[in-house]
Structure 1
Amino acid sequence: MSATWIDEALRTRCLARRREAVSDSLRAKGLDGLIAYGSGRHSFLASNPAWWLTGLRQIGPHLAIAIPLDGDPFVIATPAYDARRIAERIGDVALTVVDEAEFIETVRRELDRRGLLGKRFAIAGGVQPRRISEAWPAMFATPPQAGDALVSDIARIRDDWAMACVRRGADIAERGWANALTTAHPGMAEYELAAEMEADMRAMGAEDNFQLLSASQHNRAAHRASNRILAAGDVLLGEVTPSVEGEYVQICRTAVFGEPTRLQQDTFALLDGALRRAMAAAKPGTPARDIVHVMNEPIIAAGYETYTKPPYMRTRGHSMALGSLDPEIAVDSDQILLEGMVFVLHPNQYIPETGYVMCGEPVLITRDGAVPLTARMGTLDVIPA
């Protein structure tokens, strides 16, 4: 690949270890194998176990990797014209590449010739096309079990390859925002700035970018860029989420066109302090819901308890991992933080006097708490007006 930062040996080792970890989990659960399916759709709102286990960013509508305990893993992928690239990306794993119409029958045939149709399998793949989801129970003698949690429980602890992608993504996000601060100016449309950021981050190696970018004199919330014209006194909100090798990373940022008011500075300091308190408390073994309470305490003490709850606030953080969406930092979460988890932590908040303000960092859970994966935590940035 042309990307010079990629360590192919590390990538190959980690993909093999992931498949080994899945096999160990299958054995412990008394199952005979797992099929991880990919529909070709990818976002940070859903995990992608097929990509996580193959390292393949598919362009076709169907991808499956089978990991049987009795035998070696094998992949069935679409479309047929992409066979050369697919083979390069998955390495030594056995591969069959077919057109869309042949996918299900090819999967069935490859399982049958290995004597696997009578085995106890699990299926991972999240939301699937109806035709695909209905094919699995019809294919096996024993209806397969749900396998998404099996993959998620492994993937929620980031391995070295995932961390390399995450760190690369964090760097791209920071540089993308820094470049936006020098590009933005009064008279520019929001969508023009969003387009500049999109092109900039893709040039740096992001294959995708979920981006909220909006400005107002008094923001009610962050949203996708519109045709609104940026003006002096605006508060610019940025939720910047590039993806590198399928791993999304998010930063949340706020900037003011012109000199910030004392009230704006105080509001940002309040939220930044809440974020830092939550990071210090986010140690292994801590319930995710406790982090919400720690983050909310100074905001509530400042008189804004109403605004720490829906509809003003939904969650205080969330994972966007390729293989797992754990944890979600929410008041109703029963998840426990584990060393090696990575997620965005953000006290993004509406404050009546100043409007919506954003600050948030991707963090890694360590024994000493959450450490930021950014080189510099967000500040209340200033854009000359």
Structure 2
Amino acid sequence: MDDRRGHGQLPGKEQISIKDEEDGVDLKETYLRRIERFLKGAKEKEIESLFFYSNAWRREDSRYLAGFNFLGPFNVLLITPDGKVRMGVSCPSDFRKAKEELPWLEEIILETPDMGQMARAWEKTGIHGKMGVSGLDLLPIRLLKQLQKSFPGLALVSITDMVNQIRLIKSSDELDSIRRSAALGDKAYETFLESVRDGRNAYEIMADVERTVKQGGAEDNFMIIGIGGVDVMAMAPPTDRVPIKGDQVLTEITPHIEGYCAQICRTCVKGKPTRAQLKGFDIFLKSEEEAIKIMKPGVSVAEVAKAQNDVFRSHGFGDYVTVQYTRTRGHGLGLWQSEPPIINEESKAVLKENMVLIVHPNTYMPGVGYLVVGETVVVTKDGVEILTKADRTLRAV
């Protein structure tokens, strides 16, 4: 056997026995059910096989379909019409890790620099017709050319939208991870406040938060920050700027636990907030509250955006809810920190039970500057559950 390959029989459901030691969940069964959903969706689109490409920045497909947190630069999964799953990994440590953690995979291949090992090995599968590719826009040209060489006439079509739609609704296990991430985000915000209070610069503030989330069990954290007043038009990566009296200090913290993230947006003030800051921030709080109040299954995402924007319009700030000043009024959350649906008034999406989103009316306010507040919520059968619990008022530190 080629030492860059590993083989394992994909068992029938009655043979599946791998269990999560903490809660007894049959992990392999979970992944097989997800694969079945993708194959069903593909069949409806007359797609014969599925190809999932993940890179070091976008690991969602590998996590969702195999629970595999790879270490190398990329990872691929090939699913043939019979439901068999083959994996390609990009470094020896991932090869060893996959063989140990995923014995149920049909085949595991360590890719070569020319990215041809997988394509050559998988010629025997007889793939033809349409291949649905998730991450087609991320696919390296070398790999694309090897696929075209090994499978002449194969039509590659993007299934990214289909994948996003299937992943919208979260399972109880996914929600459990997101709740833990939200609780850790609350704790990280307290660290953020302490660091601002201690007079640390933006680099140091972010380092303190990073320590808190990593010690709390997060494998990753996306975070941006803003310090200042009317000069701040948005949040950004850190600098060595130190908050001074009167500065607004704002952040977005996004811990990932077991791949799943929650997000919290908060603003505080170094010293005592001014009347203008308090009055302006009250509009943001009201905007967030009005949106959360109407959220439930069947409500359109556009209505959620409009509920936020109308609060600003009623106070004469309608120009500041446009794309000139703000990107979105929130978005979905899951294995990536900015998933569909995007909350804006043009969205065609509709809320469904067990969708997870962040609602954040973040924008620039003239005379005050950029302000943020945002909650991670899960849609329930008759409303939403707010997962982030940290004080959302304009804290003086």
Q: Which moved more, 1:327-336 or 1:168-177?
A: 327-336
CA distance in 2, matches of 1:17, 1:188: 48
Structure 1 residue 288 and structure 2 residue 301: aligned? yes
CA distance in 1, matches of 2:98, 2:159: 24
Q: Which moved more, 1:180-189 or 1:338-347?
A: 180-189
2:353 alignment partner in structure 1:
339
Q: Is the contact made by 1:78 and 1:103 (CA closer than 8 Å) also made in structure 2?
A: no
CA distance in 1, matches of 2:116, 2:260: 28
- Decide whether aligned partners of structure 1 residues 283 and 336 sit closer, same or farther in structure 2, where only a CA change above 3 A counts: same
Structure 1 residue 120 and structure 2 residue 130: aligned? yes
CA distance in 2, matches of 1:133, 1:204: 40
Structure 1 residue 194 and structure 2 residue 206: aligned? yes
1:155 alignment partner in structure 2:
167
Q: Is the contact made by 2:48 and 2:81 (CA closer than 8 Å) also made in structure 1?
A: yes
**Amino acid of the structure 2 residue aligned with 1:129:** P
CA distance in 2, matches of 1:90, 1:377: 42
CA distance in 1, matches of 2:283, 2:83: 56
Q: Which moved more, 1:15-24 or 1:368-377?
A: 368-377
Q: Root-mean-square deviation (CA), in Å?
A: 2.4
**Amino acid of the structure 2 residue aligned with 1:97:** I
Deviation at 1:102, TM superposition (A): 6.3
Deviation at 1:12, TM superposition (A): 3.9
Q: Is the contact made by 1:318 and 1:325 (CA closer than 8 Å) also made in structure 2?
A: yes
Any runs of at least 4 consecutive aligned residues in structure 1 with deviations exceeding 4 A, and if so which? 4-8
Residues 263-289 of structure 1, C-alpha deviation per residue, up to 9 Å, x if partnerless?
322222221111111112222232222
Deviation at 1:18, TM superposition (A): 1.1
| Aligned residue pair count | 374
Q: Is the contact made by 2:48 and 2:131 (CA closer than 8 Å) also made in structure 1?
A: yes
Q: Is the contact made by 1:217 and 1:235 (CA closer than 8 Å) also made in structure 2?
A: yes
Residue in structure 2 matching 1:206, options 206, 218, 236: 218
CA distance in 1, matches of 2:147, 2:187: 44
Deviation at 1:195, TM superposition (A): 0.9
Unaligned runs of 5+ in 1: none
SS state at 2:233 partner: coil
CA distance in 2, matches of 1:259, 1:11: 51
Residue in structure 2 matching 1:21, options 23, 27, 37: 37
Percentage of matched positions with identical amino acids: 27
Deviation at 1:345, TM superposition (A): 1.0
Q: Is the contact made by 1:76 and 1:107 (CA closer than 8 Å) also made in structure 2?
A: no
Residue in structure 2 matching 1:33, options 43, 46, 49: 49
SS state at 1:36 partner: strand
Q: Is the contact made by 1:14 and 1:159 (CA closer than 8 Å) also made in structure 2?
A: no
Deviation at 1:359, TM superposition (A): 0.3
CA distance in 2, matches of 1:10, 1:203: 28
2:6 alignment partner in structure 1:
none
Deviation at 1:238, TM superposition (A): 0.8
- Decide whether aligned partners of structure 1 residues 130 and 207 sit closer, same or farther in structure 2, where only a CA change above 3 A counts: same
TM-score normalised according to structure 1 size: 0.89
Unaligned runs of 5+ in 2: 1-19
CA distance in 2, matches of 1:11, 1:268: 44
Q: Which moved more, 1:325-334 or 1:69-78?
A: 69-78
Residues 94-145 of structure 1, C-alpha deviation per residue, up to 9 Å, x if partnerless?
34131432643324423x333x323532111242212223333443343132
Structure 1 residue 299 and structure 2 residue 312: aligned? yes
Residues 165-195 of structure 1, C-alpha deviation per residue, up to 9 Å, x if partnerless?
2112111111111122123235421111111
Structure 1 residue 92 and structure 2 residue 104: aligned? yes
Deviation at 1:374, TM superposition (A): 1.6
Higher relative contact order (CA 8 A, sep 6+): 1
1:1-385 pair list within 5 angstroms = 7=23, 9=25, 11-42=27-58, 48-101=60-113, 103-110=115-122, 112-114=123-125, 116-125=126-135, 126-140=137-151, 141-185=153-197, 187-218=199-230, 219-322=232-335, 325-376=339-390, 378-383=392-397
CA distance in 2, matches of 1:346, 1:166: 17
**Amino acid of the structure 2 residue aligned with 1:342:** V
Q: Is the contact made by 1:79 and 1:100 (CA closer than 8 Å) also made in structure 2?
A: no
TM-score normalised according to structure 2 size: 0.86
SS state at 2:239 partner: coil
Deviation at 1:245, TM superposition (A): 2.7
